[in-house]
Structure 1
Amino acid sequence: MIRTFAILILSCWSIAGWSDVINTTGGPVQVTQVVRGLDTPWAIGILPDGSFVVTERDGELLYVAGGEAKRIKGLPKVVANGQGGLLDVTIARDFNQTRELFLTFSKSQRGGAGTAVAVARLSENGERLTNLRVIFEASPGGSGGRHFGSRVVEANDGTLFVTIGDRGDRPAAQDRTNHMGTVIRINRDGSVPSDNPFVGNPGVRPEIWSFGHRNAQGANLDQQGRLWVSEHGAKGGDEVNLIRPGANYGWPVISYGVHYSGQKIGEGTSKQGMEQPEHYWDPSIAPSGLMVYSGKLWPEWKGNLFVGSLKFDYIARLAGDPLREAEQIEGPETERVRDIAESPDGSIWFISVGQGAVYRMTPL
């Protein structure tokens, strides 16, 4: 069956077309719609020339450039079930030389499906992926359609961080014989870096960088190269965590939330040997994409974290020490914010699932 869709494109640099103004602590910002008509968009990757790609969870990848949108061919086969499907896309830092990008998706496996990572080359005309290789699959596969994660972030040394959800199997997040509920770190070819914290530990998956996570759907590096993630709690207890190698982030032994039944989770909110979040939300905001801002267009926001809310329809700006929610950026466009990214020119882009659209924020 061929699905029809409507798409509207505005030039990345055009001031014409549909836009709105939102007031923020950084001054009024112009919010411009750059593409609409998307079906469950999940992630955006902005290319060095200002063109971009955007994933749709059912398994489509669009390339948008020069006022045109194209469906990209050559994608991996995905299991589009529940929260699974085609998920993240990240542009390689050396894209100008390699034209490579990284994808995460739910892949069919024995016992169900699991989070997988692929790397491929985007053709010059943006119409096809070539030389696609699956470089990692979470093991074991899990049934059901919950908690795949998943973001992929290229570290400063060229290794890849990938967030993997607990797949609804809570105890698995404390079991390092599997990949569920972890952040993993792999080389670009899928091999294991020799300095990963659990390399050489019998029975522990060597790809694991940190564990005890529930469902991290946001991840980004700060200016120091440190990895931050945002992850869904249960009823309350959504977290922002600064990731340290080998650390245990506590799920499901500790949490600031409760089960949806109202029952207590685990042993409370703290336990020796388990990390505390840098920030948590109660009630839950359902955090998704996370971006650490460079300060290029808004110097006062340098180093601030921006996290999209799927539940309350805003972008949270977090700042300070201790980290706190300093501002809620919201308007009609911020309906179910799934991803947020900074473009090479310093503008802030975000996906609204509710609007089926991508927007760009610039100073007015």
Structure 2
Amino acid sequence: MIARSLFVAALLGATACSAEPQASAAAAPAATGKPFVETVVADFDSPWAMTFLPDKRMLVTEKDGRLLLVSADGKARSTIATLTVDTAGQGGLMDVVLAPDFAKSKRVYLSWAATGPGGKGVVLARGVLDDATVGAEKLRQIEVLFRATPFVEGNGHYSGRIAFSPAGKYLFFTNGERQKFDPAQDPRATLGKVLRLTPDGKPAPRSPLTAKGFNPAVWSYGHRNLLGIAFDAQGNLWEQEMGPKGGDELNLVLPGRNYGYPKVSNGDHYDGRPIPDHQPGDGFEAPKVWWTPVISPGGLMIYSGDLFPQWKGDAFIGGLSSQALVRVDLNGTNAKKGDQWDMGARIREVEQAPDGAIYVLEDGAQGSQGRMIRLTPAR
């Protein structure tokens, strides 16, 4: 369902392409003692997500609502849309993902925090990239497809990550529980859930939970703040989320399952109140991997490239409070902790480049610049 008021606001907020200089020249590769070389590609203002176009250019979102088109070498950029978003707290312009048929449709999917009746919430939108004229690229026909329900007061736990199923038939969209706890178990709400939608933003048919009275978009529930979602080469859907005080999770998402929050968690409430731990036979789906102390997981990527063959099929997670890049060994539907590299900054996003390099985006929180860094094998 298109939210007309948000559609109009987003469309009016779109701006013409404008050339902008890179904030600083790309830095020389850094020798770190890690199994990769770090090369700074560009700087951004509080970047949140990125994705690669088929021609190796990049789309990057910034918290304040700007969608940037960035050259493959990071030396040139333009603003191709400016969305009207709510930037308070954890709000802002969030994920950016290409449609599976992007080569034909030129569609780009986005998420952001918006205001509306009842308070605030995350929305899913899409536009069409008009790049026929070099130097005048623009995202047009921006439309809001889906709104989390209900909108509530507060500025946290929007989530808003997007992933298409391998065949491109379904769009999976994460809705955080908005720091309200109970909505994660509320069958009528989309908050605290993984949603399965059509590419047009409608609830996909045959949800396993509809017969139990759930919102027809809900695929799994009992989640907290879901800031990463990705499919592996076998078609398994993985999701990572921030736990409360302890208990960050990497989950294998299965249809109709209850992941327990806030009834169970491997962490406790911030005010010291205990939450029962996951236990065998408790009726809840336990995480495949969990962290206490927390890593504060940001973006999630499943590596499929050839540049790091030893890591093919593994999960990579950005660490915010841990200022780390985290690797998890995936083996079918099983997972175990791998490496955790100190990156010296909050890592918001992890992406794989067409050539198999790994790109990370620093969070750039509190007004600081967030760098885009390219990781290639150490020789």
- TM-score where L is the length of structure 1: 0.90
Write the distance in 1 (CA, Å) between the matches of 2:178 and 2:221.
14
Write the distance in 2 (CA, Å) between the matches of 1:5 and 1:286.
32
CA contact (8 A) 1:173 1:211 kept: yes
State whether structure 2 residue 242 is matched by structure 1 residue 242. no
State whether structure 2 residue 235 is matched by structure 1 residue 228. no
State whether structure 2 residue 52 is matched by structure 1 residue 46. yes
Write the distance in 1 (CA, Å) between the matches of 2:55 and 2:277.
49
Residues 55-74 of structure 1: CA deviation (Å, up to 9, x unaligned): 1112111110163111123x
After the TM superposition, which of the residue ranges 89-98 and 228-237 deviates more from structure 2? 89-98
Which residue in the other structure is 1:169 paired with? 180
Which residue in the other structure is 2:209 paired with? 198
CA contact (8 A) 1:103 1:118 kept: yes
Which residue in the other structure is 2:5 paired with? none
State whether structure 2 residue 117 is matched by structure 1 residue 110. yes
Residues 158-209 of structure 1: CA deviation (Å, up to 9, x unaligned): 211011100111011000101110000101111222132224x364210001
Write the distance in 2 (CA, Å) between the matches of 1:144 and 1:79.
11
Write the distance in 1 (CA, Å) between the matches of 2:338 and 2:208.
34
Structure 2, unaligned stretches of length 5 or more?
A: 1-19
CA contact (8 A) 1:9 1:68 kept: no
CA contact (8 A) 2:129 2:139 kept: yes
State whether structure 2 residue 231 is matched by structure 1 residue 216. no
Write the distance in 1 (CA, Å) between the matches of 2:203 and 2:37.
44
Structure-to-structure mapping, 1:270-289, within 5 angstroms: 270=279, 272-289=282-299
Shift of 1:320: 5.3
Residues 39-61 of structure 1: CA deviation (Å, up to 9, x unaligned): 21110111111110111112111
Which residue in the other structure is 1:301 paired with? 311
Q: Match for 1:255: what amino acid?
A: S
Which residue in the other structure is 1:8 paired with? 24
Write the distance in 2 (CA, Å) between the matches of 1:96 and 1:320.
30
CA gap of 1:8–1:196, structure 2 versus 1, over 3 A, is farther
Which residue in the other structure is 1:14 paired with? none
State whether structure 2 residue 197 is matched by structure 1 residue 186. yes
State whether structure 2 residue 130 is matched by structure 1 residue 123. yes
CA contact (8 A) 2:66 2:83 kept: no
Which residue in the other structure is 1:78 paired with? 85
Residues 132-172 of structure 1: CA deviation (Å, up to 9, x unaligned): 11111011101110100120011113211011100111011
Shift of 1:6: 5.9
Q: Match for 2:373: what amino acid?
A: Y
Give 2:278's match in structure 1, choosing from 269, 272, 283. Answer: 269
Shift of 1:272: 2.5
Which residue in the other structure is 1:65 paired with? 71
Give 1:323's match in structure 2, choosing from 335, 339, 358. Answer: 335
Write the distance in 2 (CA, Å) between the matches of 1:180 and 1:139.
7
Structure-to-structure mapping, 1:334-345, within 5 angstroms: 335-345=345-355
- TM-score where L is the length of structure 2: 0.87
CA contact (8 A) 1:165 1:216 kept: yes
Residues 239-293 of structure 1: CA deviation (Å, up to 9, x unaligned): 000100111000000000011122202x432363210100000011111111111
CA contact (8 A) 2:325 2:343 kept: no
Write the distance in 2 (CA, Å) between the matches of 1:88 and 1:78.
13
Q: Match for 2:183: what amino acid?
A: A
Write the distance in 1 (CA, Å) between the matches of 2:23 and 2:48.
16
Which residue in the other structure is 2:9 paired with? none
Give the CA RMSD over aligned residues: 1.9
Residues 219-242 of structure 1: CA deviation (Å, up to 9, x unaligned): 111111211111000110000001
CA contact (8 A) 2:318 2:326 kept: yes
Which residue in the other structure is 1:13 paired with? none
Residues 70-107 of structure 1: CA deviation (Å, up to 9, x unaligned): 1123x442111111111111122322222111101112
After the TM superposition, which of the residue ranges 180-189 and 53-62 deviates more from structure 2? 53-62
Q: Percent identity?
A: 38
SS in 1 for 2:30: strand
CA contact (8 A) 1:34 1:358 kept: yes
Which residue in the other structure is 2:10 paired with? none
CA contact (8 A) 1:22 1:330 kept: no
Which residue in the other structure is 2:13 paired with? none
SS in 2 for 1:72: strand
Where do 4+ consecutive residues of structure 1 move more than 6 Å? none
Shift of 1:308: 0.9
Shift of 1:312: 1.4
Write the distance in 1 (CA, Å) between the matches of 2:21 and 2:46.
12
Write the distance in 2 (CA, Å) between the matches of 1:89 and 1:9.
25
SS in 2 for 1:254: coil
Write the distance in 1 (CA, Å) between the matches of 2:299 and 2:90.
15
CA contact (8 A) 1:120 1:130 kept: yes
Structure 1, unaligned stretches of length 5 or more?
A: 11-16
Shift of 1:316: 0.7
Structure-to-structure mapping, 1:344-363, within 5 angstroms: 344-354=354-364, 356-363=370-377
CA contact (8 A) 2:328 2:337 kept: yes
CA contact (8 A) 1:239 1:278 kept: yes
